[in-house]
Chains A and B, each alone.
Chain A
Amino acid sequence: MSVHVASVGVGRFGKRSEGLLELATEAAGLALEGIGRKKVDLFVAGTMLAHGPQGPPALLPRLAERLGLDWESGFRVEAASATGAMAFHAAVESIEAGRASRALVVAVDKMTDQPTGVLTRELAAALHESEVASGATMPGLGSLVAQRYLQRHHLAPEAMGLVTVHDRSMASANPRAHLPKPVSLEEVAASRPVALPLRLLHCAPISDGAAAAVVEKGAGKATVLGLGQGFDALRITDRADLSSFLATRLAARRAYQQSGLTRKNIDLVELHDAFSPLAFVHLEDLGFCGSGEGPGWYERGWVQRDGRLPVNPSGGLLGRGHPVAATGLAGIAEIAAQLRGEAGPTAVARPPKIGLAHSMAGLGAQNFVTILGEAPS
């Protein structure tokens, strides 16, 4: 039985005055409008951060009250910064299992109302406690990954700036992006150090935002063709390699296998580039290019909207923004919108038939790959 994405809703990412529930309600409302407010029998919600009076413990009843929907079942999921992808996978699998016929998926996080210290600690909760005990943070460990990648391929740190410049350029077409202003390689290289070689403009911003989708039984232009998830050691010190993510390779293998497709069938990609060098790592782990070839793809413009493989046409995490839980679903929603011809200003040059969304939790301990496209006839 096939399941397809019937509609998506993504609100503006950035510093928003609204609270968590308002943001989720806005995105859910857009997705529900898209299906003419037809009955939904399953509700799946996801959020990662746990601060404030509108915390996640009673997220479903709080949202139910606002959305005024009469659903029969629902649950909340959490997978750190891949929460949105996990929520989507869980909803699709519930429909495939016959538990529901139409589901609303919402993923949301509210971040900008918190001091940086609080956020640093909350985001580091996705890392292993033995590493957090040493004062490790997400950018701190991201820096180690960046260095291992640069060392392995004999690259200068300037190469990482290519991803920021690309994402910000893509975001400039996206009215819902957090950072729609283009930047130059020089500006990236001159931004303040966060954890060298990572500088501020190599890191995704702290954003508020929500994404939503309605998935239902049936086939369409954004049919779910393959879902994959993969795990890796939570301690980065237990991993054999830091310049590649096992969790992505496993998730990709499973999604390709389920869909019967290979990387050659994929027309566009949304990647989880919380730190710019991760885009190279992901492109390689997903099989699109060989080890160390990622920077060349950006340099040659192959990732542009009219390139060989458009990457992050929405602006990615560095341009669209990164409200952690919402990010994974926003990437899937962008792929679905592109396939359905509803992407508007972010549409890629050649109408795509099959797209892939990649999502990463923490520093790659549980990653997700989602392949959507036209169902084979």
Chain B
Amino acid sequence: MSAPGPEGLTLVKCSTCHARFTPREGPCPRCMSPSTEAFIVPGIGTVLASTALEVPPPGWEAPHLLALVELEDAVRLLVLPEAPLPVPGALVEVRADGPVYRARRVDGDRGGRGEGDAPGAGPSRPPFEPPR
């Protein structure tokens, strides 16, 4: 994986089929072309789903927060979000940190689970969010 700078996030583009994906060993996962090139994106994306693992694997503390984020390029990442857990729809900035991706909210930290919501503020609560 190429080292990400402090600004932006490194992704990879296939020179043959133009698929975009996260940096990885080997050829393009879509067309198997060995010809790929890295490019930098701002790393701003939308949370599609997020959860708090109450029983994380050994070495992680509970609750362990995870989120599925979609970047502008339709590339998806599994990220470790800053608490409070960003709800689906939240805008986050993603940065690579060694083998993991970390994310922090960039739309004002509204509506995270376990924190008080300002009434009427933020993205509407998704239908699956349990009532508090």
Contact = CB atoms under 8 A, between A and B. Distances in A.
Interface of A: 116-118, 120-121, 124, 130-137, 139-140, 143-144, 146-148, 150-151, 154-157, 192-198, 233, 236-238, 242
Contact of B100 (A133, A144, A236, A238): A133
Contacts of B12: none
Contacts of A130: 22, 24, 78, 99
A312 B109 CA distance: 43
Given A117-B58, A147-B49, A194-B55, A238 B128 contact: no
Nearest to A153: B127
A297 to B, nearest CB: 20
A121 B60 CA distance: 12
A137 B100 contact: no
B48 interface: yes
Given A151-B127, A237-B22, A238-B29, A131 B57 contact: no
Contact of A150 (B21, B64, B79, B127): B127
The interface size bin for chain B is 20 to 34
Nearest to A238: B29
Contacts of B22: 130, 237
B114 to A, nearest CB: 11
Contact of A148 (B21, B49, B56, B64): B49
Interface in B16-37: 21-22, 24, 29
B108 to A, nearest CB: 22
Given A135-B80, A151-B49, A238 B54 contact: no
Nearest to B100: A134
12 contacts: A121-B57, A130-B78, A132-B57, A134-B80, A134-B101, A135-B66, A139-B55, A144-B48, A148-B48, A198-B51, A233-B29, A238-B76
Contacts, number: 114
Given A135-B66, A151-B49, A194-B54, 14 more contacts: A117-B58, A135-B57, A140-B66, A143-B51, A148-B49, A150-B126, A151-B88, A154-B127, A196-B113, A198-B51, A233-B29, A237-B22, A238-B76, A242-B49
Given A151-B88, A156-B127, A237-B77, A137 B56 contact: yes
Contacts of A120: 55-58
| 9 tightest A-B CB contacts, nearest first | A147-B49, A143-B51, A237-B76, A135-B60, A150-B128, A144-B49, A133-B99, A117-B58, A195-B51
Contact of B51 (A116, A121, A196): A196
Contacts of A196: 51-52, 113, 130
A36 B94 CA distance: 63
Nearest to B1: A130
Contacts of A193: 52, 54
Instruction: Pick from A124, A135, A144 the residue with the most CB of B within 10 Å.
Output: A135
Nearest to A132: B57
Interface string B117-132: 0000000001110100
A281 to B, nearest CB: 14
B88 A147 contact: yes
Contact of B55 (A131, A137, A150, A237): A137
B68 interface: yes
Contacts of A146: 128
B49 A135 contact: no
Nearest to A234: B29
Contacts of A140: 51, 53, 56, 64, 66
A260 to B, nearest CB: 33
A362 B55 CA distance: 18
Nearest to A198: B51
Contact of A156 (B49, B76, B128): B128
Given A151-B88, A192-B54, A157 B128 contact: yes
Contacts of A148: 48-49
A5 B80 CA distance: 48
Contacts of B59: 135
Nearest to B75: A237
A109 B51 CA distance: 29
Contacts of A151: 49, 88, 126-128
A147 B51 contact: yes
B49 A143 contact: yes
Nearest to B68: A144
A134 B52 CA distance: 13
B78 A137 contact: no
Instruction: Pick from A130, A131, A134, A148 the residue with the most CB of B within 10 Å.
Output: A134
